[in-house]
Structure formats: structure tokens, C-alpha cells
Structure 1
């Protein structure tokens, strides 16, 4: 099969080459990959006991080709989207992937394409887990730092669906886009006065902030009210002030049922899925470089069709 593999421990030593189709064990699925979601972590979410060459990538959508003897939930022909990471047999940037049955696997709704399905699992799962750490009610307010990417696109819409007032930061070219998703207030993160603009909007400060982009946690905390919450998706660590609670994404939170609902809502048009560009599989490195700029709008996807 063809796969984008990491050939050594050198940071950028990634290439498209022929490699063996992974053999599956009794508790795994062999999935024929049809589309791959591109993420900034794809080239470095790697197992400690990595053996080169190693196929990169953590999310995809495809068709079950074969099911191990201990797998009863899925069978050949099933269409699934999934997250598979840190697995010794390799990742998702390949024509075939071995997927453990206990991985995050979501059946693809009938009307949904593989391209659409591949764009949802990581961003959707991350947002839904993050929101479990925010004790907000209808009418409360939230600021989203870096709100025009794949995670922010879902965060704005889900927050609005819960009745929250939403502000988001991004470059000016993305302000109309964020408002189209439901954002009530948009600011330019490069404008020195952006925090004042948020305080003009919410004079007492917002109830919570979601710091998506690296380095945005501390600045986000400054516009949160006393005793509010900042959740950092990037993993930034900073010292809290004014009794503000600093939280990280609770990775053990089980939001699978909510994620299935998100797939269903997208499939019928109740939630908007934004894919900035679909690249042919052979252009995977170009897509990886684009997402590493952190300036993509919505999601980037590789198509193997």
C-alpha cells in the first residue's frame, strides 16, 4: 500500500512510499481508508516504541475490509470514521489502517461522504470534551481564542446551540466567517486593543474562555471574570489569578454519544462542517504544511478516492 511514513527520528523525514498492509489481530479492524483528516499533530503523535518506517496520522474515514475474530460490533462493508493514535502498526495516512476495536469509532450516517466524515472526529471530540469542563448555563458568555480553525468552528456552533454568548478571535478576514457560524462578537488577535473590546462587550468579563491556539491562555485569562474558567486546549500552562480556574481538556471524558449526535446533525445540515480544501492523497505534505501554519479555516482533508 501507499502511505506517508516517518522514515527516521529526524523531525521532517516524512515521505510517500510503498509499505506493507498491516496484519490485524483478533481485536482489530482492517480499514480501507477513503479520506484522512489533516491535523497539526499528525507528524508527531507517535508511539514511544516506534519502528520506522511508520505511517503518520490519527483520524480518517473508510470501509471495514476485515474484522478480527473478537470484533462483533463491526463487519466488512461498514462505513466508519475513527481516531487511531500511538498504535505500533501505524496511523491513518495510508491506504489501509489497523484500528483497535476500542478506538474512537463512529458509524458514518448514510448521507455523509467519507470526506466529510474524516473532518469531524478529532476536532469534534476535542471540543465536546473541553466543554464538559465549562460549568456554563444559557445566557453565560465564552471567549474562544483562535476560533476560525476546525476546533473553533465547532466550538462556536455548539456554544451557541447551548444558549451561550460567544466571542472569538481571529484575523479580520475570518470575522464574517465566525459571525456566520453564530459568533456575537469578533476581535482581531493582533489588535493591541482586542481585550478592551471584549470588556466593552462584557464589562464584568466573560464567564469562561477556551484557549485553542498556543500562547493564548494567559491573555484569555485577563478578560475572564473573577472565579471564571479558562480551558486550554493547546496544553499551555500558566499561573491562575483572581480565583480563576485553569482547566485542561479532560481526555477521559466519554462524549461518544454526543459525537454521534454531532455527526447526525452535520449529515442533515443542523450543524455546519467547514472544509477549507480537499487535497489528493499524493499532496499530503502540502496539506500538512498548510495546517502547520495554524491559519486554515475549518478543516483540511486528504482524499484517496
Structure 2
């Protein structure tokens, strides 16, 4: 077996053109690792932010500390993938060679390559044959974010939920998960995405180019902001008593302000990093198999065109997830 692989590598921060295919050493699994032959991965908004260092206000320095001060510390992006196990470490007993899996590498990245090393006790589960590699790869990022924020925000049946940025990867996952929980969902998106949101179960849509949802008379029990333009000061008038604001994308000032709002008002602001849990990934797989959750896929690109996939994400106009596929 060759010791080299192709990987999408970026050696400097910048636009999609900094991403290039290179021959790199294939990862060698340790005792508690598995090596996965990647069949499908995604390019997400997180990859865009890391690649370009386009961090939310206040997180610029933190971004460089986390990912590399002057150049990327981890040159291979990509945090979600589906593929086949080709090697297992001596201490691995939960996965075997030939298993189809779906995995979420989180901040460790590394999925934009032909092979990816993942810890066997990480956020990884078996992929059922009923799910395609593409569908499976699109589950972790948006789905786990939605589940974690709704858990912290205490989503209940009957809640009036507004999703700001409903057509994105996280937003479209939130729409579906809230609908499945019995909530009444309002999706904020462009008119071009209205039909898609209705198909996902949204009871109502608001075209943000024409209507300011925060200026209306409707009250919401939960407002989830995946865009970063709905701080507490803006949405307070339409947040119901004991309402919860979920800041999926928050600036540093908004995160620092959240505890004060929670202490001094009847509202609650939820912000901060998302927990990455294997149980959540298994829940998403189960929901996808029985049709309760279908990740919205915007477009598909062959691995040879991964830079074009980055460019699609950079437009800010994608609907759902951008997939990168490898030849079988």
C-alpha cells in the first residue's frame, strides 16, 4: 500500500485559490486510531473562516492562536467525512477493516484528503448501508450544532421558533430538528429558498430582504441566529417572556454580554462552542435512516475541484452543504 496520498492543502491564509492538491504522507494510525479512506467530505463555513481567518468580531487573535499565527498549523481542512476503514490500531475493537463510517473531526480537521486518521473513541459511528456517503458526510456539522444549541436552549414541543439564516447548513438542520420536536418554525431566508424551507417543515417564512423579523409583532420562544446579525439588543422586543436567544454565530462582545442578560432579565442567551458528542452523531444517523432528518445539499464537486467548492462557500449563497466526493 502506497505511503502517499493526495490532499487539499493550504499553506497560507487567503481566498480559495490558496487551496491546492498535493502529494502528502498518508497518516499512520496509532494504537487507538482508525485510518479511513474518505469517500465524501464537506466544505463548510468553518473551513472558510479558518482558511481566510474571517473570524467573528473579537476573535481574530484567538483564531491565529488556534490555527497558526503566521501560517496554518494544520494545512488540511475539513471536519466531516464518510468513508471506509482501511486500517485499525492494535487497541481498536469497535471498528474493523471494511466498516463504512461517518466521522466528525472538529478542530482537528484533516478530512480534505484521500485518507484521514480518526481516534476510534472520537465522534465516529458506523454508516448504515441505507445512507449514501454524501448524505452521511453532511450530517455532523449542522446536525450536532443544532442538537447542542437546542439542548442548551431547552427546546420544547409547542415552542415558537425562529431560525435566522435557515437555508444554511446549520439553519436547515435546526429547521428540521425543531419541527421534529413539535415546534412551530419560522424560517428567515431569501425568497429563493422559501420553497425549500417549506419542504423541510417550516410553518412560516420571512424574506429578510423585504421584512425585518425583529420589527414585527410576532413573539418567539426561541430565536436561533446562525448569521451573526441578531444580537440581543435587536431581538429583545420579539423575544417572548422566558424566551431564549441561541447565538450560533456570536461576536466576542455578545458572548461576554450573555451572562449579564441571563442575570438581569427574564430572557436567556445561549452562546459559546458547540459540544461534539458521539451520541448526537448516532442520533442524526438514526434520524436520517428513518427519514426524520435529511441534510440539505447545495452542490457536489469532485475532489480535484475542491478549490471550486471553497469558492462556492465563499459566495455566502449556498443552500445547505457543499459536498466533495472521491472516485469510488
- Residue 57 (1) aligns with residue 78 (2): yes
1:24·1:98 contact (CA, 8 Å) conserved in 2?
yes
Alpha-carbon distance change, 107 to 220 in structure 1, aligned in 2, over 3 angstroms: farther
Residue of structure 2 in register with 1:128 after alignment: 147
TM-score by length of 1: 0.89
- Residue 211 (1) aligns with residue 233 (2): no
Which residue of 93, 104, 118 maps to 1:99? 118
Please give the per-residue CA displacement for 1:83-128, whole angstroms capped at 9, x wherever unaligned: 11443xx601000111122321021111111111111111111111
1:211·1:220 contact (CA, 8 Å) conserved in 2?
no
TM-score by length of 2: 0.83
User: Which runs of structure 2 are paired with 1:2-151 in the superposition (5 Å)?
Assistant: 2-8=6-12, 10-12=13-15, 13-43=18-48, 44=50, 47-48=67-68, 54-87=75-108, 91-151=110-170
Q: 2:104 and 2:212 mapped to 1: Cα distance?
A: 39
1:67 Cα deviation after fit: 0.6
Q: 1:14 and 1:40 mapped to 2: Cα distance?
A: 15
Alpha-carbon distance change, 170 to 282 in structure 1, aligned in 2, over 3 angstroms: same
Q: 1:129 and 1:266 mapped to 2: Cα distance?
A: 17
1:129 Cα deviation after fit: 0.7
More helix by share: 2
4+ runs deviating over 4 angstroms: 45-53
Q: Match of 1:300, SS?
A: strand
Q: 1:37 and 1:158 mapped to 2: Cα distance?
A: 21
Please give the per-residue CA displacement for 1:179-223, whole angstroms capped at 9, x wherever unaligned: 1111112112233543344x2xx3xx2111111112223434442
- Residue 230 (1) aligns with residue 245 (2): yes
1:294 Cα deviation after fit: 2.6
1:283 Cα deviation after fit: 1.1
1:145 Cα deviation after fit: 0.6
1:135 Cα deviation after fit: 2.4
Q: Match of 1:41, SS?
A: helix
- Further displaced range: 36-45 or 104-113: 36-45
1:143·1:210 contact (CA, 8 Å) conserved in 2?
yes
1:65·1:76 contact (CA, 8 Å) conserved in 2?
yes
Which structure 2 segments of 5+ residues have no match?
Answer: 52-65
1:35·1:114 contact (CA, 8 Å) conserved in 2?
yes
2:106·2:276 contact (CA, 8 Å) conserved in 1?
no
- Further displaced range: 101-110 or 230-239: 230-239
- Residue 155 (1) aligns with residue 182 (2): no
Residue of structure 1 in register with 2:287 after alignment: 265
1:290 Cα deviation after fit: 1.3
Alpha-carbon distance change, 188 to 132 in structure 1, aligned in 2, over 3 angstroms: same
Q: Match of 2:145, SS?
A: helix
Q: 1:145 and 1:51 mapped to 2: Cα distance?
A: 31
Residue of structure 1 in register with 2:195 after alignment: 176
Which structure 1 segments of 5+ residues have no match?
Answer: none
Equivalent pairs counted in the alignment come to 296
Please give the per-residue CA displacement for 1:123-143, whole angstroms capped at 9, x wherever unaligned: 111111111012232212111
- Further displaced range: 113-122 or 290-299: 290-299
Q: Match of 1:182, SS?
A: coil
1:287 Cα deviation after fit: 1.1
